[in-house]
Amino acid sequence: MDHDRMSTDDTDADSNDETATPVDEPDDEHHDFWAEGVADEIEQRDPNDPIVIKGGVSPSGVAHLGNVNEIMRGYFVAEALRDRDHEVRQVFTSDDRDPLRKLPRKLADPDGQIVGLGEVDAGALGRNLGKPYTDIPDPFGERDSYAAHFAALLEADADRLGVDIEMYSNTELYGEGAFDPVVERVLDRVDTAREVLSEYQAKADDDYVPFNPICEECGKLTETVTDIDLDAETVDYVCTDMEVGDETIEGCGHEGTATFREGKLPWRFEWPGQWQVLDVDFEPFGKDHAEGSWPSGVDIAENVLGIEPPVPMVYEWFTLNGEALSSSAGNIVTVPELLELLEPEIIRYFFALHPKKARDLDLSRLDQLVDDFDRFEEAYYEGVDDESVTAFAEAAYPYVVGNVTDERPIRLPYTFAAVLGMVDDRDLREKLARDEGHIPDDADEATVEAALARVEQARTWAERMDNAYNYRLQAELPDVAFDDATSDALDSLADVVAAGHDGETIQSEIYDTARDHGIEPGDLFEAGYRLFFDETQGPRLGEFLGDLEQEFVVGRLRRER
């Protein structure tokens, strides 16, 4: 669960909380993929099919890569169980009866792009503080509510990553009475509930009632319940002020009556309630819950609700570019943004790595992650000289890619793809890739297309990062000036190219020509890079020029076009 944590987020950890994990059961089987170990743990509970795996978020602001932990970590466990012939449902709760407690600093528009509050009617949001997300209009005016907007973003992300999740709206679950038995039990045993809760939080005195009705007058969630009627399944309440951090959300003073379907349980009860209602067998959650709501949830599940809590798994948070994820600070990346830079299977790979390690996703070195994935893939198909990588790949690769093809897919090395991105011509890209041996002669068109798709991604990366690969073949002659010796050398080189030499010859001619004209080869190379890239460095020049249109190269070397 990644509730309401826009500023931080994720990564992993497996869990073994002694409160819920049978420590006396022998975990004698070693697995090369963590999800298999979790699957063991779940099977030891002897659960009924379908096995239910849950994730969930509070629809606070932006759906970002941190939330993907909730989706992907459960996904791998689900797949491991399906592989063992279990029927598995992966459910996801949008905890959308939660109240909007403060204005988010950033939102994601319907396309998943991050925008500031200035893009929307922030005033309308401000007037709705304290109301459930499902009762607040979609700031973008498309969906039924703020909550629906957020849920749609998350569902779209899951879809982009190829994960099939069943979304559940908490508000709908309350509305249709799914929580009724939970609310009734908690209120019936309100003394026990207070006693259990008091172990974990101070605010559990004799007046405390773990149910927050929605005020029928102002629509805000309230916390002052004055009477409980178990037979009628209602509570009486007074709409009092609510303290939220340093701020106060004012109540309207209304006194009314609400049914069990017109309010919500506080989080510490709601979470175990979800386990009961959805019959949850496994749930991953971020480290923030490990010492907070998880222990209390277990206690409440066992001693108030009388159910067995799911198998837990704590995941560590990952950092982005070395810093904690923070939407307000702008240190955030969304799934659609990342998919402009790499393939979805690489995102899945990232989340297949051990959840217990805090990782850094460094966009400036995405090539490392892609290289790691490529090696992981190679390990699956052919094995690599690192046993642990090969073992991990054999266990995890099928889940990471979803559909394993007979043949290993062609992957252009990411930085090489970035080099190809320096030219726009698609056929030239293909030629360069073939010349370098990255595309086999017998590759069909679809295979070539698939391989070249990475060029656009690597190109986008080079541009975004403005790194050492962000060169562009200059269509127009750059503003250049050379001394006489260099100019003469360039003319000579132009003659060589005009005579029709291939790349290798051009490469060696650059050296010879430079010497013939009494200049350093380095100077001539630099002149070439100036002419073609308007830079002082670039890719291996001779071979590069050899692949370009001869007439263009000659003209450019003569500084004519």
Partner RNA sequence: GGGCUGGUAGCUCAGUUAGGGAGAGCGUCUGGCUUUUAACCAGACGGUCGGGGGUUCAACUCCCUCCCAGCCCGCCA
Binding residues for RNA restricted to 129-188, rule: CB under 7 A: none
Q: Is 526 in the site for RNA (CB under 7 A)?
A: yes
Cβ closest to RNA, residue 375 vs residue 464: 375
Q: Which stretch binds RNA (CB under 7 A): 123-131, 177-185, 328-336, 409-417?
A: 409-417
Put the strands of the sheet holding 282-286 in their side by side order. Answer: 166-169, 88-94, 51-57, 282-286, 311-315
Show contacts with RNA in window 258-287 (CB under 7 A).
264, 266-268, 270, 287
Running DSSP on this structure, what letter comes out for residue 439?
A: S
Number of residues that bind RNA (CB under 7 A): 93
Cβ closest to RNA, residue 50 vs residue 354: 354
Contacts of 208 (CB under 8 A, 6+ apart): 194, 197
**Sole binder of RNA in the list 416, 461, 482, 532 (CB under 7 A):** 416
Q: Which stretch binds RNA (CB under 7 A): 116-124, 175-183, 449-457, 514-522?
A: 514-522
Cβ closest to RNA, residue 337 vs residue 535: 535
Cβ closest to RNA, residue 18 vs residue 85: 18
| Least distance in angstroms from the C-beta of 159 to RNA | 24
SS3 214: strand
**Sole binder of RNA in the list 288, 343, 345, 377 (CB under 7 A):** 288
ω into residue 47 within 30 of 0, thus cis? no
Q: Is 353 in the site for RNA (CB under 7 A)?
A: yes
Show contacts with RNA in window 224-253 (CB under 7 A).
243-245
Burial of 71 (0-12, 13-18, 19+ CB in 10 A): buried
**Sole binder of RNA in the list 76, 380, 399, 525 (CB under 7 A):** 525
* Residues 2, 292 contacting (CB under 8 angstroms): no
| Least distance in angstroms from the C-beta of 168 to RNA | 13
Q: Which stretch binds RNA (CB under 7 A): 185-193, 331-339, 415-423, 487-495?
A: 415-423
Vertex 248: Cα angle to 247 and 253 (nearest 5): 175
**Sole binder of RNA in the list 79, 316, 343, 345 (CB under 7 A):** 316
Number of other residues whose CB lies within 10 A of the CB of residue 359: 18
Q: For 141-166, what is the HEC assignment?
A: CCCCCHHHHHHHHHHHHHHHCCCCCE
Cβ closest to RNA, residue 50 vs residue 292: 292
**Sole binder of RNA in the list 413, 426, 463, 495 (CB under 7 A):** 413
**Sole binder of RNA in the list 329, 453, 468, 480 (CB under 7 A):** 468
CA atoms within 13 A on the CB side of 415: 13
**Sole binder of RNA in the list 354, 426, 464, 472 (CB under 7 A):** 354
* Residues 10, 324 contacting (CB under 8 angstroms): no
For residue 153, give the nearest of 60, 54, 62 by alpha carbon.
Answer: 62
Per-residue mark of binding to RNA, 89-108 (x: CB under 7 A): ------x--xx-x-------
Show contacts with RNA in window 369-408 (CB under 7 A).
369, 371-372, 375, 384-386, 388-389, 392
For residue 91, give the nearest of 55, 130, 66 by alpha carbon.
Answer: 55
| Least distance in angstroms from the C-beta of 349 to RNA | 11
| Least distance in angstroms from the C-beta of 111 to RNA | 25
Q: Which stretch binds RNA (CB under 7 A): 27-35, 76-84, 139-147, 225-233?
A: 27-35
Q: How far is CA 359 from the centre of its chain?
A: 13
Per-residue mark of binding to RNA, 39-58 (x: CB under 7 A): -------------------x
| Least distance in angstroms from the C-beta of 93 to RNA | 9
Cβ closest to RNA, residue 174 vs residue 471: 471
Q: Is 523 in the site for RNA (CB under 7 A)?
A: yes
Alpha-carbon distance of 135 to 144, in angstroms, equals 9
* Residues 460, 485 contacting (CB under 8 angstroms): no
**Sole binder of RNA in the list 360, 424, 502, 516 (CB under 7 A):** 360
**Structure token pair of residue 221:** 């969630």
Q: Is 321 in the site for RNA (CB under 7 A)?
A: no
**Sole binder of RNA in the list 511, 549, 551, 561 (CB under 7 A):** 511
* Residues 14, 314 contacting (CB under 8 angstroms): yes
| Least distance in angstroms from the C-beta of 50 to RNA | 25
Alpha-carbon distance of 120 to 438, in angstroms, equals 48
Spell 251-283 as b/e; 16+ CB within 10 A means b: beeeebebbbbbbbbbbbbbbbbbbbbbbbbbb
Cβ closest to RNA, residue 142 vs residue 520: 520
SS3 314: strand
Show contacts with RNA in window 527-546 (CB under 7 A).
529, 535, 537-541, 543-544
Q: What one-letter code names the amino acid at 553?
A: V
